[in-house]
Structure 1
Amino acid sequence: MAKELVLVTGGSGYIASNIILQLLEQGYAVRTTVRSLDKIDRVKKIITAGGIDKLDDLSFIETDLSSEKNWDKAMEGVNYVIHPASPTPKLNFKDEKEMIDPAVNGVLYVMKAARDANVKRVVLTSAYGAIFAGHENRTTPYTEKDWSNLDAKNIFPYQKSKTLSERAAWKFIEEEGNGMELATVNPVAVMGPILTSDYSHSNIQIQQLLDGEVKAVPNVDSGYVDVRDVASLHLLAMTSPKAAGERFLATTGETLSMLDVANILREAFPAYAAKLPTKKIPNAILKAAAVADPKLRMVASLTGKYAGTSNQKAKDLLGWNPRPAREAIIATAQSMIDLGIVKK
């Protein structure tokens, strides 16, 4: 009997590669997209490092979210699509449309091609950024019912792009989906083990802390979740009948400050204790610095903001049970030390 074929977009990505690992472990065949065929060896290296020796059930196709080209071929024979890929963000954009338009268009290329190929369900990797932004004076945990308020001031283009691209996917399903199903997974900050030295930017915070690059931390709270649990939630969202038409916040439900993260690392890795920060940057100083340095503006906009989240829906509906944030943070650090990313 032929194995069910799952298309995973952007196979070299941190979340995508962990999804591919779990799909192969569970007996699926996987086709993954790469922006360039040069990335095939990189993906194979990550998957092999994750413990999969035989790659017979893994295939590749070159396609890109910047155009419709090859998406029809990518979908041939596919049962399910998991779509973690997102366009490469521009840091030096002149207009926010440079970030928003590729995100929205890319999602629609995937959705249209999937529908035309009679794919059963698409699982879209959205983001916490599509949920929390633009809500002032919040005191109760964010849930899947929340959407970022794009009419608020200081909404950053990244959060806008994630909100508008997810909205576009739901609108497509409603108006043009022809019965195709959609579920979304919205992760908070993603931690967990890195499999090769070519690591994700979502983990750069841990590297900078351990290397002593951070003398004081901003007063920013966040949820954290392990990449392995984000991957398992995607698989549950792909197969569970209850998941169709639903959003799922991928979070442990814990809220940690950046100082909490530093303290977890200090306790777990005493050899690095002297390099880790013990102080917070006052909000006023950070906001003043952000006026001159655009790279600090997004962080400055998050200072002192409530960041509580609930994972009750994923637990109740799908039986998802993530490991604690502390475990995910320690796993990130340990893998970075083992791979020589962090200086000893």
Structure 2
Amino acid sequence: MQNIDYVLSVASPVFSNDPNSDTTATEGILRILKAAQQAHVKRVVMTANFGAIGFSNHDQTSITTEADWTDPNEKGLSAYEKFKLIAEQAAWQFIEQSHGSLELTTINPVAIMGPALDAHVSGSFDLLKNLLNGRPKMIPNIPLNLIDVRDVADLHIRALTAPHAGGQRFLASAAGQISLPEIAALIRQKRPQIAQNIPTKTMPNLLLSSAALFNQTAREGNLLVHVNRQLSTQKAQDILKWQPHFDNTTIVLDSIDTLIQYGLLP
């Protein structure tokens, strides 16, 4: 890291059942921070996620902001979300205890989709793949917040050098929300040639919550149903002059077109 002023830390273990993944994610960011501190780097921008912020806020009348933190013991929290949460907490603790000049900024995006550079797409695309291959047989009525990868990249670049971005967390989300049944309807309308396997029935929330008593995947889905989806990106707008350019409809359709382009359809 010699002669480097700014570092982007964007990598993390994903969707792993390895019990050591929490250690891997945490040790990875701590190694970066220690090396950056030794090299007198000015700022590290870390890709965190929304799961570290909003998964414990179930109050649908409130607004979720960067001041919120997910409880690591939240019922239904996936291993991936927990590992990301623990890694971000460890990063902030390192900065607090080091008393050095190194600054940390975290970007906390919701589900990232949009056009990909190659066939290696993000895990968020599994939401679309599962719909397209007809798994499950009924669509859970899960509301989602989405963000386009291009808007996430823009936010990272702005956070590198903005004077007041150090020591801040920034939520990244497109405006509003879109549910899995709404995504299914959009695909049927705009890309009917690939929609033949999409389920036509919506799973009642009561059925999902009942399944959550016995199944971890259902517990994770049940948590997503109850997460407050009213988010504020005002901090990024004020400090970084950032605005998302792509709405939920565009994000979904561009993601579908990426799956078609790279032959990734089920």
TM (normalized to structure 1)? 0.71
Determine the structure 1 residue equivalent to 2:125: 203
Amino acid at match of 1:184: T
Paired residues of 2:16 and 2:80 also in contact (CA < 8 A) = no
1:105 maps to 2:27: yes
**Helix, strand or coil at the partner of 2:164:** helix
Paired residues of 1:124 and 1:185 also in contact (CA < 8 A) = yes
Q: Choose which of 228, 247, 250 in structure 2 pairs with 1:324.
A: 247
**Helix, strand or coil at the partner of 1:243:** coil
Structure with the larger RCO, 1 or 2 (CA within 8 Å, 6+ apart): 2
Cα separation, 1, equivalents of 2:118 and 2:254: 13
Determine the structure 2 residue equivalent to 1:288: 210
Paired residues of 1:79 and 1:121 also in contact (CA < 8 A) = yes
Going from structure 1 to structure 2, the CA distance change for 1:338 and 1:160 (only over 3 Å counts) comes to: closer
Aligned ranges for residues 210-289 of structure 1 at < 5 Å?
210-289=132-211
Amino acid at match of 2:3: G
Amino acid at match of 1:324: D
Structure 1 residue 102: Cα displacement:
2.4
Cα separation, 1, equivalents of 2:173 and 2:155: 10
Amino acid at match of 2:150: R
Cα separation, 1, equivalents of 2:241 and 2:99: 28
RMSD in angstroms over aligned alpha carbons? 2.1
Paired residues of 1:135 and 1:149 also in contact (CA < 8 A) = no
Paired residues of 1:218 and 1:258 also in contact (CA < 8 A) = yes
Q: Choose which of 161, 164, 170 in structure 1 pairs with 2:86.
A: 164
Amino acid at match of 1:333: I
Cα separation, 2, equivalents of 1:157 and 1:273: 31
Cα separation, 1, equivalents of 2:99 and 2:60: 35
> Which range moved further: 194-203 or 247-256?
194-203
Cα separation, 2, equivalents of 1:205 and 1:152: 22
Paired residues of 1:214 and 1:276 also in contact (CA < 8 A) = no
Structure 1 residue 287: Cα displacement:
3.2
Going from structure 1 to structure 2, the CA distance change for 1:88 and 1:266 (only over 3 Å counts) comes to: closer
Paired residues of 1:253 and 1:308 also in contact (CA < 8 A) = no
Determine the structure 1 residue equivalent to 2:5: 79
Aligned residues: 265
Q: Choose which of 41, 54, 59 in structure 2 pairs with 1:137.
A: 59
Determine the structure 2 residue equivalent to 1:12: none
1:91 maps to 2:14: no
**Helix, strand or coil at the partner of 1:162:** helix
Determine the structure 2 residue equivalent to 1:32: none
Cα separation, 1, equivalents of 2:212 and 2:192: 33
Structure 1 residue 139: Cα displacement:
1.8
1:147 maps to 2:147: no
Structure 1 residue 124: Cα displacement:
0.5
> Which range moved further: 268-277 or 324-333?
268-277
Determine the structure 2 residue equivalent to 1:297: 219
**Helix, strand or coil at the partner of 2:157:** helix
Amino acid at match of 2:210: A
**Helix, strand or coil at the partner of 2:155:** helix
Structure 1 residue 291: Cα displacement:
4.1
Structure 1 residue 138: Cα displacement:
3.8
Amino acid at match of 2:207: I
> Which range moved further: 330-339 or 152-161?
152-161
Residues 71-113 of structure 1, C-alpha deviations (whole Å, 9 max, x = no match): xxxx2332211111113553264xxxx3433222222111111
Q: Which runs of 5+ in 2 are unaligned?
A: none
Report the structure number with the largest CA radius of gyration. Answer: 1
1:339 maps to 2:262: yes
Q: Which runs of 5+ in 1 are unaligned?
A: 1-74
Task: Give the fraction of aligned pairs with identical amino acids, expressed as a percent.
Answer: 37
Q: Choose which of 137, 151, 176 in structure 1 pairs with 2:98.
A: 176
Cα separation, 1, equivalents of 2:198 and 2:6: 44
Paired residues of 2:43 and 2:104 also in contact (CA < 8 A) = yes
Structure 1 residue 117: Cα displacement:
0.8
